Structure 1
Amino acid sequence: DQPTGLHGLARRFAMPLFKISATGAENALARVADLNLERYAGMYRAQDGLACDPGYDNWRLVLIHPSRKPLAGAPVEARPRVIRVMLPSGLSLIAFEKELHERLSPAGLGGWIASPAGRRHCADLGLDPREAIRLTGYNTGEGERVSRADELYIFKPRLDGGRLLTIIEHIVHDYVVRDVAGRRPNWGWVAPNQGYRSIRPSTAPSA
């Protein structure tokens, strides 16, 4: 049988493709169940309109293979299939995930496939690059909203696991160091329309 889902896409485009994201769920399998229900990245925009591919309801966790242990004292724990992080006070999950996406963006599938190198790669394989620009349909009860599936990356777990661990450590370290210095990084703030607000302890003027 031919592989389907992201595995099938990776096979057709001859690239190691994986989804990397963060979740606040205690058990990452709960988030995987949501991805399967949503059929995350199961759509793309074909010449005649939106098209759906099979297999995007079968997401699963894979081994990460970090090449080292977390730095001593870092609030990070490397497990076989997840990296657990204790976020510092004031750094929301959404802000962390946005910064993770930003630092992983050079390996992002959507950006690379639209680049000259990506288009040459598709031409060499005789493939339409639009097939690799994945979408997710979200049924909100008032119609379906289609969004870009931007959490797909060119990633080799056996080679890049240590790099992913380093990126996560740096996100936490940079936030803490700048916060202590009174220079909280811009990405630590979350837009009010996302339902989050930053809460910092107030200080009374000294007498």
Structure 2
Amino acid sequence: MTSIDTTRGHKDASAKPRSRRPSLSRLLPEGSAGAVTHYVETQWPRIGGVALAPLPGDAFTNPAFTERYEPGMLTAIYAAGCGFDHASTGATGLVGVARRLLAAVHKVSTTTQTDLRSRLRELNADRYGALTTSADGYPCSDLGFDTWMMQHILPVGRPLPGSPIANGDRCLTVRLPADMTAREFDKQLAARMKGALLNGWLDTADGRKHCAILGIDPAHLKRGTTYRFNGGMRRTDDAEIYFFRPKTDDADRLLRLAEAIIYQHVMTPPSRRPRISWRSRSQGTRSDFNG
């Protein structure tokens, strides 16, 4: 495996872009800790696309579902952010990215760990999302990506009656069907949220236009992670960072996406489900892994 220097070109994520920002309408008062301080006429992507097809109101109480559904493993959907902490008042970590982009972004994913703090320890140990590109074009590691915190997910609406999804503490809890693995659910959720993925959006015409308005190189906002395995190391240029506001109707959209995944899995006969491998690439289970 090729060793990659993730410290060369190291920079502070709170550093101002070299070009001056245009005059923008202020949304928050000077000194506010919020990320979206100014208004920009950009249409942000949303998880699940423009419209979500609603499930029937009795989707989870109808015998057609209840007779097929067998409860299985418990998993949780979480939204996390990072940045300000007691050691630094600078806009580092993901909040630094959000403030430079003038958009609400969070890490959204799943975990089977019942104590979410265990997942936080892992994210902080990996400095998840710290990997980016320096001004001189080299991989570098941003500051502040060891201060991850779980966010409240507060949908306005409630889960459907009988739903296997529930509002938990700083998460949505999901009781998977017995024949569905946690990794499969995670990957299906990610596939449905893909359109709102930060890294992907930065490569679109809308993303490039927005960054040009702010005088930012899109490559400096993309996130990745360096995973270390004692003497080995693996770099990934992907990160589960989405345009997501956990205390708005984005939370409702997340809830409905999760319900749709469970419902469609249960109502689709096993013979008609796609045959897909959900092996973990981050652990080396991929055909191009060289050890």
- Say which structure is richer in helix: 1
- Provide the rounded CA distance (Å) in 1 between the counterparts of 2:178 and 2:150: 28
Structure 2 partner of 1:15: 103
| SS of residue paired to 2:268 | helix
- Provide the rounded CA distance (Å) in 2 between the counterparts of 1:6 and 1:141: 26
Paired positions, count: 192
Query: In the TM superposition, what are the counterparts of 1:15-34 in structure 2 within 5 Å?
Result: 15-34=103-122
1:68 Cα deviation (Å)? 1.2
- Provide the rounded CA distance (Å) in 2 between the counterparts of 1:57 and 1:64: 21
| SS of residue paired to 2:224 | strand
1:165 aligned to 2:255?
yes
Between stretches 137-146 and 97-106, larger displacement belongs to 137-146
Between stretches 128-137 and 43-52, larger displacement belongs to 43-52
| SS of residue paired to 1:144 | strand
Query: In the TM superposition, what are the counterparts of 1:1-207 in structure 2 within 5 Å?
Result: 1-46=89-134, 47-159=136-248, 160-179=250-269, 182-186=270-274, 189-191=276-278
1:96 Cα deviation (Å)? 0.6
Root mean square deviation, CA, Å: 1.8
1:27 Cα deviation (Å)? 1.1
* Structure 2 unmatched ranges of 5 or more: 1-88, 284-291
1:192 Cα deviation (Å)? 6.4
- Deviation by residue 1:66-98 (Cα, 9 ceiling, x = unmatched): 111111111111124100001101211111111
TM-score of the pair, normalised by structure 2: 0.62
| SS of residue paired to 1:87 | strand
- Provide the rounded CA distance (Å) in 1 between the counterparts of 2:142 and 2:277: 34
Distance 1:139 1:193, change over 3 A: closer
1:133 Cα deviation (Å)? 1.4
- Contact kept in structure 2, 1:94 and 1:190, CA below 8 Å: no
- Deviation by residue 1:135-181 (Cα, 9 ceiling, x = unmatched): 100111233211123310001122211110000000110100003xx
* Structure 1 unmatched ranges of 5 or more: 196-207
- Provide the rounded CA distance (Å) in 2 between the counterparts of 1:34 and 1:184: 36
Identity over aligned residues, as a percent? 33
Q: Which residue identity lines up with residue 28 of structure 1 in the other structure?
A: L
Q: Which residue identity lines up with residue 171 of structure 1 in the other structure?
A: I
- Provide the rounded CA distance (Å) in 1 between the counterparts of 2:227 and 2:191: 23
- Contact kept in structure 2, 1:40 and 1:149, CA below 8 Å: no
| SS of residue paired to 2:236 | strand
